Amino acid sequence: MAALALGACTSTSYAQTQELAPAVPGEFIIKYKDGHSPAQLEAAASSELQTPSLLQRIRTMFGAESPMQSELNSLKALESKYDLQSVSALETYDQPGAEALFNETYIYKYNTDVNTTDVMRDYENIDGVEYIEPNYIYTAFKAPNDPNYNSLWGMKIIKAEEAWEISTGAQTVKVGVVDTGIEVNHPDLKANTLKSEGMGPGCPNNTDTGNHGSHVAGTIGAVGNNTTGVAGVNWAVSMNGYAVLCAGGSGSLASIAAGVNKAVADGNKVINMSLGGSSDSTTFHNAIINAKNSGVTVVVAAGNCWNQPQSQKCPLSNPTQRGSSDYTYPAAYPEVITTAATTSSDQSASFSNRGRANDIAAPGVQIESTWPPSTYQSISGTSMASPHVAGAAGLLLSVNPNLTPDQVQNALQCTADDLGAAGWDEVFGHGRLNLKKAIDAVQSGNIPTCSTPGQPPSTPLPTNPGGATNTPAPTGGQQVHPCPEEAAKGNYNCTTPTDDNDYKAWEAEFKQGVSSLSPWFEYIRKAIYN
Ligand SMILES: [Ca+2]
Ligand SMILES: [Ca+2]
Ligand SMILES: [Ca+2]
């Protein structure tokens, strides 16, 4: 799509424009100083002829031209030199303000063979010319040809199209999706997915029994510009799935920790975890610390329990804690990028957890993405916000693969568009992701720094120390489930306690048919956000 260059104040000298930007061949925008357009000069010259001044009569006597006549002649000479085809005034549609700015501004169409630099030089040598510019061509920002792309409001609001002018991703960047798995044969995921590994009990390889992971993967890296479906933040990337949430969308701590550790071992530079629970866990936290120490950026969902009733999905009894990312794990761990969800009008999603842990916000309502076996779905959740940010982290790494997790986090959160209360706040963190500004920061090498001032301590509630005992779980919302207690409630079948008085290790078989060793904390509850 071509558009007119409307920069009245940006007179570009040909000398500065060594490399001319694309323009319509032979076409120029010329603005004359008031009274100096050819039509004005001509009118003035003819009135001069009819009622010649004394000075003009003297000039005529000596065969000299008036300056006005001479300027008109120079302009006429250029018109014939470059074979003028047509001239028309730049339309201002009768707006008085625009009229003043575009007074005597014309579109000149010359022979398409003319040398742009020559024409500009010749015009700039004439005093009455205020400026001349090539009729530059502007194009729509890079949008992919995927047919469902138009419904991806999230990509537009984070300025992905502008960012894609700089990079559309790279297959050398690996991103791990610790979730329900990835349907590797989905036509919009296949080319960007290396594998999906079953990590939890009953989790199969290379497919997705829960759909959630494939949806997350599509936002990170559905193949872009392939005339199919949707486009991810990365049009090209290498994703690895780690299926840890099976058996109805939940998974044990052991599986999730193994998934994170495997993702690090496999060389993923970014890990997305659109999952969580209300149990603080040293094992889980250590897996995340190890990931960050290994140079892996970990992006997680803030949780969906704000303003939600107590339920299996949102188990904490205290409503403030229930809707807080500070009491949601891994969201509360300081090593992760905690992502809240926004709507298409940049409001906070009604369910999006708030809290001191929130670092950034991203689109999370009515997000369309890939869905097994080979279709697409729109769903909502901080689960959908997190992969926008994880995808953004991947895209930044395609520009500079040596960025540290802290640099990635700063580039993302410190360039975000501030929303809500001025500056960092508990609803949006530092603001809504702006991918264009983030990629510009990385490309320029000037990555700003900013911290999340309210980052909670890693253990905001008392934890169950040492080993399980028969004492009751601490109150205040911490979901600690020593096996015997849960067995008494019928939630677990406990087997092989090593010590009757100190249940440091046991095997538990969850009612859902998933077994785990020493499940100190209950990740078996619905722990998935969608
Ligand atoms: Ca596609
Ligand atoms: Ca955080
Ligand atoms: Ca704010």
221 Cα: distance to centroid of ligand 1 (angstroms): 9
325 Cα: distance to centroid of ligand 2 (angstroms): 8
- Following CA atoms 137, 143, 144, 147 in sequence, which dihedral angle do they give, to the nearest 10 degrees? -110
H helix runs in 231-381, sequence order: 253-265, 282-293, 319-322
pLDDT score for 56:
73
Cβ neighbours around 38 below 10 Å, total: 19
432 Cα: distance to centroid of ligand 3 (angstroms): 9
Residues of the chain with pLDDT > 70, as a percent, come to 81
Catalytic residue among 238, 383, 398, 518: 383
Give the CATH number of domain 149-444: 3.40.50.200
| Three-state secondary structure string covering 367-389 | EEEEECCCEEEEECCHHHHHHHH
Domain 14-136 and domain 149-444 have a common topology: no
Catalytic residue among 212, 285, 388, 481: 212
Q: Does 418 qualify as catalytic in the annotation?
A: no
Q: Which ligand is nearest to the CA of 330?
A: 2
227 Cα: distance to centroid of ligand 1 (angstroms): 6
H helix runs in 266-318, sequence order: 282-293
pLDDT score for 140:
56
What CA–CA distance (Å, rounded) separates 30 from 420? 45
pLDDT score for 492:
47
Q: Does 430 qualify as catalytic in the annotation?
A: no
Residues 379, 381, 382, 385, CA torsion sign: positive
Give the three-state DSSP class for 286.
helix
Domain edges within the chain: 14-136, 149-444
Point out the residues of the chain with pLDDT beneath 70. 1-20, 139-140, 247-248, 456-530
337 Cα: distance to centroid of ligand 1 (angstroms): 27
Q: What is the pLDDT of residues 299-331, one digit of tens each?
A: 999 999 999 988 877 888 888 899 999 999 999
Place of tokens 């969906």: 304
**CATH 2.40.170 correct for 14-136:** no
Q: Does 36 qualify as catalytic in the annotation?
A: no
Go through 391-416 and write b for each residue having 16 or more CB atoms within 10 A of its CB, e for each that does not. bbbbbbbbbbeebebebbbbbbbbbb
pLDDT score for 2:
34
